[in-house]
Amino acid sequence: MAGAEQIDFRARDAESLARYFDFFGEVECPQVEAHLYQSLCAGVIRDAEILSMAAETPPNQPAANLLFGAVHYLLLGGEAHALREWYPALAIGEPRDSRSAYAPFRSFCLEYRSRIEGLIRTRLTQTNVVQRCSVLLPAFAHIWKSGGGAPLALIEIGPSAGLNLQWDRFRYRYARAEPGGEVRCWGDPQSPVLIECELRGDRRPSHWPEQIPVESRRGVDISPVDVTDPDAVQWLRALIWPDHVGRQERLGAAIKITREHPPAIVQGNAAERLPDLISRAPADATLCVYGTHTLYQFPRDDLINTLKSMQSAANARPVYFASCESTGDRCSELRLTTYRGSERDTALLARCNPHGRWLEWLV
């Protein structure tokens, strides 16, 4: 298996895609216990026809997520096929062993090829992994303290439906893995969204106040998701990996909260729209820009311009930028970049599971 540094994630030739699916199955899937997709990847890497379908993915989108998401979307839409019996939320009774899923998966792909390719070409991986709020909470607490306790003005890059902008309306439970280990809770005890996270390592995030005030919450996304649109919600559900039934429940509860408290999300390119959003942030607030697993989708020039816009804005006020991105290995990293005037300082705050299942705080 090739390492991440040997894979061109934007390439769409069969050999490059096979290496990518191998990496996805052997590295990314085990991190989040995605057994079905891990099994499917083992078949895809040897299947020229399925690889040719995956090649329809735009170069700035992850091919595996879109291929598997498109199949899941059609199944959630009611397509009657034996493949349903391998999906825990769709099977009648216990789902079948994921190790035998490839033949019916291939059959489904070929039968619905044109529709799957149409979805791959036009849809985006706009997952709102609500569990990642387990990483955002300690980051926001750290930034709030760094800003002197002033309320936060939040701007999320790539918020999709804006579910994670609701982070302070959830409840949290952090615990050590060993029996009798430390437990820390935070948030609204009546919230229907429960975020649980395992604490690892020797350090702990400093204790958080009962409330972390938020003065404004906005976002910018190429294609914001309307949580009142049933089809858009179905696509969000389809992007959840089938083994993760609990994520479906959290998604539904978070969508309900978001419908009650719709965030202000503007459509557009962050490189172009971020300066305006920053200028509109309340002047007396601690300005925090953040994103989770979104920067990898940015074309290089757009990424550079997005970062430059924060540096430029720092001439008027400090800008805190929290970013959680994959390392290409077996974890993600939470980094905080603080822009002050012409200065820039970056710190590694934590290592974490890509879906926020565990957190190792480092500062």
Q: What is the pLDDT of residues 225-245, one digit of tens each?
A: 999 999 999 999 999 999 988
pLDDT of residue 31: 87
The string of pLDDT tens digits covering residues 126-185 is 877 999 999 999 999 999 999 999 999 999 999 999 999 999 999 999 998 777 777 899
Rounded to 5 degrees, what are φ and ψ at 222? Answer: -60, -40
pTM of the model: 0.90
- 19 pLDDT more than 90: yes
The Cα 54–Cα 47 span in angstroms is 11
303: helix, coil or strand? helix
The Cα 317–Cα 313 span in angstroms is 7
The Cα 302–Cα 40 span in angstroms is 34
Rg (CA), the chain: 20
- Mean pLDDT over 295-301 rounds to 88
What is the overall mean pLDDT for the chain?
Answer: 94
Neighbour tally for 227: CB within 10 Å: 21
pLDDT of residue 75: 98
- Mean pLDDT over 38-58 rounds to 97
The strand ranges marked E within the chain are 152-157, 171-176, 183-187, 194-200, 214-221, 264-267, 286-292, 319-326, 332-340, 343-352, 358-361
The string of pLDDT tens digits covering residues 25-37 is 999 999 888 999 9
Tokens representing residue 262 in the block: 């719709």
Confidence band, pLDDT 50/70/90 cuts, at residue 3? low
- Mean pLDDT over 218-227 rounds to 94
The Cα 161–Cα 232 span in angstroms is 9
**What's 168's DSSP letter?**
G
The string of pLDDT tens digits covering residues 245-293 is 888 999 999 999 999 999 999 999 999 999 999 999 999 999 999 999 9
| Residue-range domains of the chain with CATH | 4-122 (no CATH), 130-361 (3.40.50)
Distances 346 to 203, 278, 334, 335, 353 between C-alpha atoms, Å: 19, 20, 11, 7, 21
- 328 pLDDT more than 90: no
pLDDT of residue 60: 87
Diameter of the chain measured on Cα atoms: 60
Tokens representing residue 109 in the block: 């792909």
Q: Are 150 and 284 in contact (CB under 8 A)?
A: yes
Please count the CA atoms within 13 angstroms of the CA of 343 that sit on its side-chain side. Answer: 5
pLDDT of residue 4: 65
171-176 sheet: strands from edge to edge: 183-187, 171-176, 194-200, 358-361, 343-352, 332-340, 319-326, 286-292, 152-157, 214-221, 264-267
In the chain, pLDDT over 70 holds for what percent of residues?
99
pLDDT of residue 179: 74
